[in-house]
Structure 1
Amino acid sequence: MDSKPALIEDQTPNLVVAHIRALRPRQWTKNLIVFAAPLFAFELTVQTLLGSLLAFMLFCFTSSSFYLINDIIDVESDRRHPVKCKRPIAAGLVAVPTAIAMALILLTTALVLGWWRSPGLGLAILTYALLQVAYNLRLKHTVILDVVAISIGFILRAFGGAAATDIVLSPWFLLCTAMLALFLGIEKRKAELRLSEIKGKKSRAVLYRYSLPLLNRMESVVTNGTILTYALWSSGPIVNGASTPWMMLTLPFVLYGIFRYQLLSDPEEIARRTTGAEAGGRTERPEEVLLGDRPLLLTVLAWVATTFGVLLFKSQGVLT
């Protein structure tokens, strides 16, 4: 009589973990860009941080709702996939009706709270949701527009973070965000293309329109654009950029971070570091590269520390 309740009780934590995993919390790092508005504007107050935190939470709700929807749509194909079959919905750990309810609740909550906080934030979330629909239905299958859509998604997050905190962003910051997002999108396609060449099968139809030489040329353009726009922003108020030209001190960290990421995505470097069928797919997931490479993570932390140092000294009147 007591064995069945005990079994259910033992399984409950695993089911809770499965439902959380279905939301793909590792992908939430992409939404951290909403905190860039108060950071880049040097307006770090309790009010702006709470506004950014709300924007972060709502964009996590929105992105997770579409992860659930995608997994529901692809549940049959995922069950035949050697890796994706372990996803909670495909594995049967999360029921499809439950996943539908979760997606609807998350998306509705994000839209309602977004419009309540600020029409600009609500519009950013709504536009981001529509972009996800367009991306999954068409854009992810369209060469060049697929990476452009990824870039627009990051711009909408940055705009949403600014709207939630009533901060006006520098146009150089928005351009730098777009260039950096394009850079990451191109790196993702490069990793997928290399992985497909190793396996002898392309995982996306759009990969048939790409080649490594083409992606390398695209990467060169957006890398130059990223560095140039960040340098202009950090030059200070003379070009409608940062509030102090001392932000130029952070430029070396940006340069090293970009070059380090390119090193990690280089085929020869990958061959030295990895073996097996999955070699070459590491930069397909930027958030895993950031969290998994110590020099790159230290570079990000050094950039943050330097930025806060400049902010502190500027607030004390030491820097202008």
Structure 2
Amino acid sequence: MLSSTVVIRRAGALLRAMRPHHWIKNVVVVAAPLFALALNVGTLFRVGWAFVAFSLTASAFYLINDVRDIEEDRKHPVKQHRPIAAGLVPIPLALAAAAVFLITGLVGSYFVAPWLAVAILSYAFIQAGYNLGLKEQPILDIMIIAGGFVLRALGGAAAAGVPASGWFILCVGLLAFFLGIEKRKAELKALGEDADTRSVLQVYSISWLRRMESVVTASALMSYALWTLEGADTPWMLVTLPFVAYAIFRYQYLSENGKGESPEEILLRDPGMLLSSILWGVVAFTILVMTGSP
């Protein structure tokens, strides 16, 4: 029988392997109900569960991915310290926890809103494909990252029972695609000659990613601008465009210095990104309230 000390240590290591700092990505579930001004007690509970369900599902695949990539991770200068690669979490424990998380997230979501369960199931499906080999396919790997954000946004809308316009989904998808490109660029810059620790990075090049970056950046900014004028409930949302533009260009600057590998950490630690996000939220919410939208 394991001692209480060992159990506590393994529980702590398992929590780290779940990557709770990545859960901030799931805040996207709040976007649709926030813009619809539909955040009451009942909605907050349902959207809160959507956040939990996506977090559990994401953590399940982090565990599965770390088990599958254990040998590659042990060669990586940073990933070698992950709990599973370092031997702190036994593989059977990681897989059992992943199964529990997946079932809990899916079943719980069905009782909250059937379409939320569909979003969770779709998210699990693309994550399974990602872990089974699509993450080694250039372009597709970034598209899956973007698709995950779109499904989060759709899941939040389903949980709250509010519509998600095509403009809204387009903005989320393009901004997420931009983040995926910046993530790959930062990884290449950070690893340099050690890029062979991840096979897909051998296909990408900085020059190629910069060309993709130029197209997607322009598309994301234009789609957001058009959404504020055509898709939002009030054209006053155009006032928030400078904050989005600053955040995008700030992230480009950070990725040029090899600091964009983890978007969630950049958002929380970089003063410029954090301030622009807060100001965007405050201004957007004020506009929606003052104009009586929707």
Which amino acid in 2 is paired with 1:138? Answer: G
SS in 2 for 1:134: helix
Shift of 1:128: 0.7
Which amino acid in 1 is paired with 2:223? Answer: T
Structure 1 residues 100 and 81: alpha-carbon distance in aligned structure 2, compared to 1, 3 A threshold: same
Q: Determine whether 1:261 maps to 2:251.
A: yes
- State the alpha-carbon separation in 2 of the partners of residues 107 and 186 from structure 1: 28
- State the alpha-carbon separation in 1 of the partners of residues 189 and 236 from structure 2: 40
C-alpha contact (below 8 Å) 1:154/1:178 kept by paired residues: yes
The answer for the alignment partner of 1:296 in structure 2 is 273
Which amino acid in 1 is paired with 2:85? Answer: A
Match of 2:107 among 85, 109, 112: 112
The answer for the alignment partner of 2:203 in structure 1 is 209
Match of 1:63 among 33, 37, 58: 58
Shift of 1:60: 0.4
Structure 1 segments (4+ residues) deviating >6 Å: none
Structure 1 residues 32 and 143: alpha-carbon distance in aligned structure 2, compared to 1, 3 A threshold: same
- State the alpha-carbon separation in 1 of the partners of residues 194 and 85 from structure 2: 25
Give the 5 Å matches for 1:87-102: 87-102=82-97
Match of 1:151 among 123, 146, 149: 146
Shift of 1:202: 2.8
- Percent identity between the two aligned chains: 51
- State the alpha-carbon separation in 2 of the partners of residues 200 and 46 from structure 1: 50
C-alpha contact (below 8 Å) 2:255/2:261 kept by paired residues: no
Structure 1 residues 225 and 77: alpha-carbon distance in aligned structure 2, compared to 1, 3 A threshold: closer
- State the alpha-carbon separation in 2 of the partners of residues 186 and 163 from structure 1: 28
Shift of 1:15: 3.4
The answer for the alignment partner of 2:38 in structure 1 is 43
Shift of 1:136: 1.5
- State the alpha-carbon separation in 2 of the partners of residues 98 and 176 from structure 1: 39
Which structure has more relative contact order (CA 8 Å, sep 6+)? It is: 2
Give the 5 Å matches for 1:172-187: 172-187=167-182
CA RMSD after TM alignment: 2.0
Structure with max Cα Rg: 1
The answer for the alignment partner of 1:275 in structure 2 is none
Say which is worse superposed, 38-47 or 122-131, in terms of deviation: 38-47
Query: Where in structure 2 are there 5+ consecutive unaligned residues?
Result: none
Query: Where in structure 1 are there 5+ consecutive unaligned residues?
Result: 271-279
SS in 1 for 2:197: coil
Q: Determine whether 1:220 maps to 2:210.
A: no
Match of 2:78 among 79, 83, 87: 83
SS in 2 for 1:167: coil
SS in 2 for 1:254: helix
Q: Determine whether 1:229 maps to 2:206.
A: no
Q: Determine whether 1:308 maps to 2:258.
A: no
- State the alpha-carbon separation in 1 of the partners of residues 199 and 75 from structure 2: 18
SS in 2 for 1:202: helix
SS in 2 for 1:265: helix
C-alpha contact (below 8 Å) 1:38/1:49 kept by paired residues: no
Count of residue pairs the alignment pairs up? 293
Structure 1 residues 208 and 9: alpha-carbon distance in aligned structure 2, compared to 1, 3 A threshold: closer
